[in-house]
Amino acid sequence: MLRKEQNDMLTQTGPGTPMGNLFRHYWIPMLHAEELPENDYAPVRVKLLSERLVAFRDTNGRCGLIDEFCPHRGASLWFGRNEECGLRCPYHGWKFDVEGNCMEVPSEPTESGYAKKIKLTSYPVVKRGDVLFTYMGPPDKQPPLPEWEFCTVKPEQTFTSKRLQECNWLQSMEGGIDSSHVS
């Protein structure tokens, strides 16, 4: 039995936590590629390592993963419009690209340069097999892309599924390696 402090250290994965910092040094599977089926499709909510994010595929087919909330008034970009290579906030129309750069602030003249000063947290997204992965760690420590067999074989040679399991990562891992579950 672990003390609360030990349990928290092992199971909390938010930014700045020991396990959160560790997990952020690896590529993390985030969605099936089919969940972002086409360009300019509706954004998808993603919660990873205690961060609330939205994923979207822009007009040019680039996938992005950015902070869910607009920095202006905190509106959820999940309600935003995915249009012309960016995600537009439903509240005041601020528009962000897949890298989190603010492209447009409708209430400010373009010449003011105000939009260029605004940036959301964003993470790179890559497709490996039929899975979209993201890397949430320091850019200078980004590891090589995942090369697991299911990522590299022909689509007809693999099957990928996902499920919602309401627990922390350690409970899932412990249940998966418990020998009483083998049968």
Alpha carbon 101 to its chain centroid, in Å, reads 16
Superfamily of domain 24-176: Rieske [2Fe-2S] iron-sulphur domain (2.102.10.10)
Which pLDDT value is given to residue 95? 98
Contacts of 79 (CB under 8 A, 6+ apart): 90
Alpha carbon 73 to its chain centroid, in Å, reads 21
Which pLDDT value is given to residue 139? 95
The span from the CA of 72 to the CA of 41, in Å, is 24
Please check the confidence at residue 86 and state whether its pLDDT lies above 70: yes
- What burial letters (b/e) apply to 157-172, b meaning 16+ CB within 10 Å? eeeeeeeeeeeeeeee
- Give the HSE-up count for residue 150: Cα atoms under 13 Å, Cβ half-sphere: 9
Summarize the confidence of residues 20-29 as an average pLDDT. 96
Which pLDDT value is given to residue 116? 96
Contact between residue 85 and residue 60 where contact means Cβ atoms under 8 Å apart: yes
Please check the confidence at residue 171 and state whether its pLDDT lies above 90: no
The residues spanned by each domain of the chain are: 24-176
The span from the CA of 93 to the CA of 110, in Å, is 14
Contact between residue 64 and residue 127 where contact means Cβ atoms under 8 Å apart: no
Task: Look at 167 and 112; give whichever has higher pLDDT.
Answer: 112
The pLDDT-based confidence of 2 (bands split at 50, 70, 90) is confident
Which pLDDT value is given to residue 107? 94
Q: What radius of gyration, in Å, describes the C-alpha atoms of the chain? A: 19
Selection from 85, 118, 74 nearest residue 100 by Cα: 118
Torsion over CA: 54, 22, 34, 85 (sign): positive
Residue range 100-123, pLDDT digits in tens: 999 999 999 999 999 999 999 999
Which pLDDT value is given to residue 81? 96
Residue range 132-155, pLDDT digits in tens: 999 999 999 999 999 999 889 998
Summarize the confidence of residues 159-181 as an average pLDDT. 84
Please check the confidence at residue 183 and state whether its pLDDT lies above 70: no
Task: Look at 171 and 68; give whichever has higher pLDDT.
Answer: 68
